[in-house]
Structure 1
Amino acid sequence: MKFRSGLLLGSAFIAGLALAPVSDVLLHRFGGEFGITKAMAAEDNASSTYKLLSLFGDVFERVKADYVTPVNDQSLVENAINGMLAGLDPHSAYMNAQQYRDMQAQTDGAFGGLGLEVSQENGFIKVISPIDGTPAAKANIKPNDLIIAIDGKSVQGLALDTAVDQMRGPPGSSISLTIKPVGKTKPVVVKLTREVINVPSVHSDLYGDIGYIRLSVFSENADQGVRDAIKKLQAQAHGKLHGYILDLRNNPGGLLDQAVSVANDFMSTGEIVSTRARHPEDSEVWSAKPDGDVAGDLPMVVLINPGSASASEIVSGALQDNRRAIVMGERSFGKGSVQTVIPLPENSAMRLTTARYFTPSGRSIQDLGITPDIQVAESDREANAMQPLRESDLQHAMENPNSKKLPPLPPRADLPAIAKSIPKQPPATWPKFDASKPTTDFQLQEAIKIVDAMKPVSSAAN
């Protein structure tokens, strides 16, 4: 079974799980006195299940018979399955045949659409992050923007999957989105042309003797893209690279195996991540390979922000816990769960949360996210902007299982002296952020200072 970490699409069930061990305790304690047996309890549970299924059948037949317009059986059953899974957590979901094909295309690296990662909030569609180089990014759509209409039709009450389906379409076709930008009251209409969305987009640059790698999403070719970027940067610098910046800002995640591989690209020892499942035999631990660090153990900074989620948090958490890199930016999204894609009949599938993942120090980042070693606000954040969306804001978000049990990580003693002088936000005179001008990217410029300060003395003197 292959684990895939969801791309952030968005309990009574948890209460049901909690009842199982309590029942066992009661049976052992009072079974002899009252003649209660586990077999009788199991029979009662089965009877309750049959009654609930009978209730479902009654509702199903009543809707078919009396709903104001005829509804086909497939639609009713799919809606019921959707409701069952969506009620568990924000990332478990049912996918019909078309949605399953779309997901496979997305994780394989290409699909037709706008390049938006979205969730649902108060009946509207909320932007998690745009993918670099896509129509959404080119149109300057930002995290936390609300999509209130698609092609002039309100999305109020529209299922998230339906809204995503409407935004996808043949490359070259046009679409209009009515958007309420974050921090503003007046909606704007944005016209876009759908394109083939190729993911991940690995972008690299050389800033002096510092290599910069931007990874926008963890799809099937993420690890190879990072390795290719490292080789390219090493060639450009003629073997005189003195450090790296790995930019995971607004990276919504992707595949667990790719997260492990990318972390291993910068590590040669230590644990990367562990997953803990309901059944102990399904739990796993991944560790770095001795020959894994293709970056040569050079100084490194990882940039994160509230749009950094899932696989991004695995990588940044592994590099932070192992003291391989300094994490810089803003607290990440906080998605600490793993989803397994399970094929179903009729070419459909379900995406089911099957495990939680933990950083090497034993931290679950569910709800909490990764806290940077050096906190620096984004350059384009307005002072009065609303708080960024995080996992804890999603409906049915799972609680952190150990937030009250583990002490916080000790402060880092290996930060360069210049870290104390890094401001927490851009000065008022800082130019407006322009993605085409790295000099306007405040976090990036501060990261360059940190990597530069970590150069070996012998290298700095050359």
Structure 2
Amino acid sequence: MRIRFVKTICIIFILCLLTSNISFAAESQTENENYSDIDYLKSVMDMIRDRYKGNVTEEQLIESAINGMFSAMDQYTEFFDKKEADSFFSDIEGSYVGIGVRISSQTNDICVVEVFESSSAAKAGIIKGDIIVKINDVNVEGKTSEEVANLIRGKAGTKVNLGIMRPGQKQLLNIEVERSEVKINPVTYRIIDDIGYIKLDIFNSNSSINIIKALKEMDNNNISKLILDLRDNPGGELSQVIKIAEKFVPEGLITKLDFQSEKMEDELYYSKNKELKYKLVVLVNGLSASASEILAGAIQDTGAGVLVGTKTYGKGKVQNIYPVLSPEAYKRYSKELGATILDAYDLINNYDIIPSEDEIIGWAKITTGEYYTPKGRMIDGIGLDPDYYVENTYIVNGVDIRTIDTLSKQVRINVNDKSIDVLNAEKILKLLGYNIAKPDMIFDKESAAAVYEFQKDNGFYPYGVLDFATQQALNDKLENLILECDKQMAKALELLKK
């Protein structure tokens, strides 16, 4: 935690820089009413200690009181305990210590739905579609994916043993994997004919470098027409959205941050881009929020591209995150320094003291200001209206196409095999109109019969086995179905082909 704490000093979180001197340092209070407020809260804690027949620590009472105060403010202001803060920082930093898999809880099983490239899991031989049955000889049946993820994670350099069930294997596979730092790449891209497509899932610390890699690939292939997909992107770091905006927004203002406190100067961010390379369409929806709206709003206001989709979320507020000293540390530093300090950043900025892990009780994420688009629009609670309003169709034959993943093509699947690939294959077959009553993870006789019919209809040797060629054919059908259902994507392609 101490290493992470030092690291966060230099990191920009959410939509605000950690460079201001704003703090929780309390001024010396002499008014009697202030003391009476403090005495009142102390009396409440004394009453609980005296009358509550149960186990509760002073730290738990204080954390609960802090949480209560933060819950009285807007929905974006909250208090994180250390465990919650670690999870938050992992999302924003785009890294964590683990083995490099994404798991999902399906029909009481824990399935590997993605293995990150070059991860320790990939090197150990774990593949997409594996079912995790045990972790260090502990049965995980019935546990949530979050509970299992916590069991898998640990200190870098330590090892974890996974009991894996895999189609085609009669016995449980025992695979030992070393834990290491995993960096999450939120960028995927491909080229559709002569049009580039880039999907950005979140603005974490790895976003801009991977967007730059994607754009280099586009440039190497002489791509001048581009779709930037910000759908379902909840936002992230301000520094990242500015770096990315500079690639798409012409010379001029990108955004302005207007802060509440007089101690925090308003901040304006500019692009120096004098030559726009791409004819650009940006895809947005109701879950495109915060940093996504900064980028989309700047592109729309400057005419650098057009927005296609539905109205965005409408989060125009910015937050800073501050480390909060524990009561013990607060008392000790107040005595040593002669100043009442609650925000640990004050110790660093004003006294050159870096507190230890034990001296931090949690982290406070507070709304500190608002941002504006280049044309001065404040979109909080309003959102951005797309230039072309297009709604998507997601449900076909009772199946939500958004819940389907491509088949892994890692193993052949026969009758009685169990795999996440079976679930996805059955969903695709049901979408296509084949007889699948209810998609599940068991490749039963009904599944085999549907595969047999699909193979016969598509020129394959029909024998009801989910082999690699059939899996690829189903993946191809899924891609076509997604394009048919994704009317927003279709509109973007239409605009760029003109």
The TM tier, using the shorter chain, reads 0.5 to 0.7
- CA distance in 2 between counterparts of 1:309 and 1:431 reads 34
Output one character per residue of 1:208-244: Cα deviation in whole Å (capped at 9) or x when no partner.
1111100001001211111110111222x2x2x2311
Does the CA-based 8 Å contact 2:247-2:273 persist in structure 1?
A: no
1:358 alignment partner AA: Y
Structure 2 gaps, min length 5: 1-8, 17-28, 104-112, 117-127, 130-139, 154-159, 163-179, 326-358, 399-430, 434-476
Give SS of 2:287's match. coil
In structure 2, C-alpha distance between the alignment counterparts of 1:316 and 1:168, rounded to whole Å: 35
Alignment correspondent of 1:60? 45
User: For residue 353 of structure 1, what is the aligned residue in structure 2?
Assistant: 367
TM-score by length of 2: 0.55
* Local SS of the residue matching 2:215: helix
Q: What is the alpha-carbon distance in structure 2 between the residues aligned to residue 372 and residue 168 of structure 1?
A: 40
| Residue 448 of structure 1 pairs with residue 493 of structure 2 | yes
Shift, 1:437, TM fit: 5.6
The match for 1:328 is: 308
Shift of residue 272, structure 1, vs aligned partner:
0.7
- State the Cα deviation string for residues 172-204 of structure 1 (Å, max 9, x = none): 899xxxxxxxxxxxxxxxxxxxx9975342111
Give the Cα–Cα distance (whole angstroms) in 2 for the partners of residues 75 and 356 of structure 1: 33
Residue from 293, 301, 307 that aligns with 1:313: 293
* Deviation sequence 1:378-427 (CA, Å, 0-9, x none): 23169x9xxxxxxxxxxxxxxxxxxxxxxxxxxxxxxxxxxxxxxxxxxx
Number of residue pairs aligned between Structure 1 and Structure 2 = 313
- Could you say what secondary structure the match of 1:205 adopts? strand
The residue number in structure 1 matching 2:218 is 233
Query: Aligned to 1:103, what secondary structure does the other structure show?
Result: helix
Q: Secondary structure at the match of 2:248?
A: coil
TM-score by length of 1: 0.59
Task: State the shift of 1:279 in Å.
Answer: 2.9
Instruction: Answer yes or no: is the 8 Å Cα contact 1:4–1:338 preserved in 2.
Output: no
Q: 1:96 to 1:173 in 2, by over 3 A?
A: farther
Distance 1:328 1:334, change over 3 A: same
Secondary structure of the residue aligned to 1:4 is coil
Q: Check conservation: 1:200, 1:215, Cα contact below 8 A.
A: no
CA positional deviation for 1:276:
0.5
Task: Choose from 275, 279, 286 the match for 2:261.
Answer: 279
| Letter of the structure 2 residue corresponding to residue 439 of structure 1 | L
State the partner residue of 2:242.
Answer: 260
Distance 1:134 1:367, change over 3 A: farther
Shift of 1:289: 1.4
2:151 paired with 1:107: no
Give the match for residue 51 of structure 1. Answer: 36
2:14 pairs, out of 5, 18, 23, with 5
Alignment of 1:343-382 (within 5 A): 343-345=323-325, 346-347=359-360, 348-380=362-394
Q: Is the 8 A contact 2:185 2:207 kept in 1?
A: yes
Q: Distance in 1 between matches of 2:254 and 2:78?
A: 27
Gap runs ≥5 in structure 1: 8-41, 117-131, 140-149, 155-162, 175-194, 385-429, 454-462
Instruction: Check if 1:298 corresponds to 2:278.
Output: yes
Counterpart-to-counterpart distance in 1, 2:161 and 2:74: 34
Contact 1:199 1:217 in 2 (8 A): no
Report SS of the residue matched to 1:282.
coil
% same residue: 27
1:214 alignment counterpart: 199
Q: Relative to 1, partners in 2 of residues 1:254 and 1:431: Cα closer, same or farther, differing over 3 Å?
A: farther
**What is the DSSP-based 3-state SS (H/G/I as helix, E as strand, rest coil) of the residue aligned with 1:251?**
coil
Offset, 1:166:
9.0
Distance 1:446 1:76, change over 3 A: same
Post-superposition offset of 1:320: 0.5
Residue type at the aligned position of 2:41: F
1:201 maps to 2:190 = no
Given that residues 273 and 358 in structure 1 are in contact (C-alpha distance below 8 angstroms), is that contact kept between their aligned partners in structure 2?
Answer: yes
Q: Pairwise CA RMSD of aligned residues?
A: 3.8
Larger radius of gyration: 2
In the alignment, the residues of structure 2 paired with residue 225 and residue 336 of structure 1 have an alpha-carbon distance, to the nearest angstrom, of: 26
Once the two structures are superposed, the pairs formed by residues 183-198 of structure 1 within 5 Å of their partners are 198=183
| CA–CA distance in structure 2, aligned partners of residues 100 and 344 of structure 1 | 11
Letter of the 1:449 partner, please give it.
E
1:443 to partner: Cα distance: 1.3
Moved more, 340-349 or 304-313: 340-349
In 2, the alpha carbon distance for the partners of 1:320 and 1:3 equals: 25
Once the two structures are superposed, residues 43-76 of structure 1 have per-residue CA deviations (whole angstroms, 9 ceiling, x without a partner) of 7xx3333222222111112222222412111111
Is the 1:379–1:443 Cα contact (8 Å) retained in structure 2? no
Partner of 2:60: 75
Which amino acid counterpart does residue 493 of structure 2 have in structure 1? I
Q: Any residues of structure 2 matched to 1:9-158 within 5 Å, and which?
A: 46-111=31-96
Residues 80 and 363 of structure 2 are in contact (CA less than 8 Å); yes or no, is this contact kept in structure 1?
Answer: yes
- Which of 231, 251, 262 is equivalent to 2:233? 251
Q: Is the 8 A contact 1:308 1:332 kept in 2?
A: yes
- Distance (whole Å) between structure 2 residues aligned to residue 196 and residue 435 of structure 1: 33
For 1:326, the aligned partner's letter is V
Check 1:133–1:322 CA distance in 2 against 1; reply closer, same or farther (3 A cut).
Answer: farther
Residue 439 in 1 paired to residue 453 in 2?
no
Write the deviation string for residues 142-187 of structure 1: whole angstroms up to 9, x where unpaired: xxxxxxxx99799xxxxxxxx988975525899xxxxxxxxxxxxx
